[in-house]
Amino acid sequence: MLQTYFDNIEIIVVLLYVVLGISLNSYLLTFAKPFRFLLAKYSGETAAKRSVYLQRFMGMFFYGIVPLVIVLILLQGTLRDYGTVLTDPSETLLWGILFAAIIIPLTLYNAKSPSNLAVYPQIRSKKWTLNTLLLSGLTWAGYLLFYEFLFRGFLLFACLREFGAVPAVAINMMIYSVAHIPKGKLETIGAIPLGLLLCVVTLATGSIWFAFLAHVIMALSNEWISLYHNKDIKLAIKF
């Protein structure tokens, strides 16, 4: 029995759900595209744009809503146990500034590459309005908040209690890297050092909020810089 190998039911539930949740979300995105019937009345760029939003909402559900229900109802725990409390805002902000100082120059260099522009921005509308820019940013942030709760909260802290710091980080890095396989070889390999950094700082601060901030900085800086360099997309922003 699995219980023979683990001290409590938490780690069994967490590991099983993380694998199931990632697999199910990936399956639906790959084969359901996603949920064509929800987009049936739309066409062209509108359908493509709404498809991206739907993908992010699906991620929020599988990576955030379901784990939250598991924690609060099935495991009868508290969110505090999974790194959701911002223990030291100034420390988190400092880490965020240092991360931004490193990642934004790298993004400025990489975002204009043909391989990046072929994928980003995810919304391929030929004209981006202020509404598109805001909705994309908000859905990115919502998705990444729940994404980091799954990996650096739900998974990391459960593994920490069961196995200790080093095994918890190793398990997290492995699953995090495997989850990037659908995005290609470069992102799969890049997820290893990034996963290590996010796990280490999360454990050092006792909070997922640096990981969330770092991921938002990466996503939005890449989206905005890619927008600037993409010659097929026009910014039509009026304040």
149-197 residue pLDDT tens? 999 999 999 999 999 999 999 999 999 999 988 877 888 898 999 999 9
Q: Is 225 exposed, middle or buried (0-12, 13-18, 19+ CB in 10 A)?
A: buried
Which of 24, 33, 69 shows the shortest CA–CA distance to 54? 33
Q: What percent of the chain shows pLDDT beyond 70?
A: 90
3-class secondary-structure state, position 234: strand
- Return the half-sphere exposure (C-beta side, CA atoms, 13 A cut-off) of residue 8: 11
- Return the half-sphere exposure (C-beta side, CA atoms, 13 A cut-off) of residue 91: 12
Among 31-40, 61-70, 104-113, 211-220, which stretch is predicted with the lowest mean pLDDT?
31-40
What's the mean per-residue pLDDT of the chain?
89
The answer to whether the peptide bond before residue 121 is cis (omega within 30 degrees of 0) is yes
Among 121-130, 141-150, 209-218, which stretch is predicted with the lowest mean pLDDT?
121-130
What is the predicted pLDDT for the residue at 3?
44
3-class secondary-structure state, position 84: coil
User: Bridge partners of 136?
Assistant: none
Q: State the Cα–Cα distance between residues 108 and 118, nearest whole angstrom.
A: 16
- State pTM to two decimals: 0.91
8-63 residue pLDDT tens? 799 999 999 999 999 998 887 776 555 665 655 666 677 778 888 989 999 999 99
| Residue 6 structural domain | 2-236
Whether 7 shows a pLDDT value over 60: the answer reads no
Identify the residue with better confidence: 239 or 192. 192
Domains held by the chain: number: 1
Q: Residues 105-127: what's their mean pLDDT?
A: 89
Q: State the Cα–Cα distance between residues 61 and 21, nearest whole angstrom.
A: 9
Token pair in block for residue 46: 């509108």
Q: Residues 187-211: what's their mean pLDDT?
A: 94
Q: Residues 109-114: what's their mean pLDDT?
A: 89
